[in-house]
Amino acid sequence: MDKSNAALLDRPDARTEMTVVTGEAVAADISRKLQSTARSGPDYQEFMTVVGKKRYRTQQFLKRFCDVVLSTLGLLAISPILLLLALLVKVTSPGPVLYKSLRIGKNSKPFYMYKFRTMQTNADDLRDELRAKANLQGNLFKIHNDPRVTPFGAFLRKFSLDEFPQLLNVIRGEMSLVGPRPLPPDESQLFEDPYTLRFFVLPGVTGLWQVSGRSALDFKKFCELELTYLKNWSIGMDLGILFKTIPAVTMRRGSY
């Protein structure tokens, strides 16, 4: 991939029509490659056997029902807080309230993930420049004391309050409350078999990675945790992760 295309990955809601078209074209090309890669190997066959069972399909139906009901009730319950946070984002720094980040979802399809904006508006232009300074912990882009983060954005990220708008993605059917972490197109290319199984389920607002150390974990451990989740998934496991998310967020384990 050439540098001009790579720089367009993981853009927010595009500042120009050209950015949207080019960014989505790059994501679509990556999605096609992922689909052909993920549908190979013994792990894929084993996973498809499990997916085809009636018990799995029934639990997936219940999972989707719970996603919609809990997300809708959650948005209604915290709507005053969301309005306050949106207002504070708007008045504390110039730019839009929401940040729309291009991610790879179920069946390797790209979608825009919503978050409260926590960075300055030119954050994506600086992403490649900062990559050399980033604490990659393997391959995923993450940087301590990110200079792009606004003061109020740092507060939102500290307690994961910027993630609340992702409940909209859950209602839209692009995400689940629990699942693999949704990643931008360039990082999605890093996965090899059997870890490409992550692209056969909905990504989650939270997941086993988030309650097991988050950014403190390296890329290999991140992959192993996601594979453990995929191969042992159940409604009970999702409920356990949801309950563990609350102390993980409030105690800020592995967050920065």
Which residue type, as a one-letter code, is found at position 4? S
C-alpha pair distances (Å), 118 with each of 11, 115, 126, 133: 14, 8, 14, 19
- The DSSP result for 187-199, as a single string, is HHTT--TTGGGGG
In this model, does residue 91 exceed pLDDT 70?
yes
- The span from the CA of 223 to the CA of 218, in Å, is 9
Q: What is the DSSP letter of 100?
A: E
| pLDDT tens sequence across 162-212 | 999 999 999 999 999 999 999 988 788 888 888 888 988 999 999 998 888
pLDDT in tens, 130-171: 766 655 555 666 667 778 899 999 999 988 999 999 999 999
Do 136 and 44 meet the contact criterion of CB atoms below 8 Å apart?
Answer: no
What one-character DSSP code corresponds to residue 181? P
Least confident of 87-101, 123-137, 157-171, 207-221: 123-137
Three-class secondary structure of residue 98 per DSSP: strand
**pLDDT at res. 166:** 97
Specify the pLDDT at position 50: 80
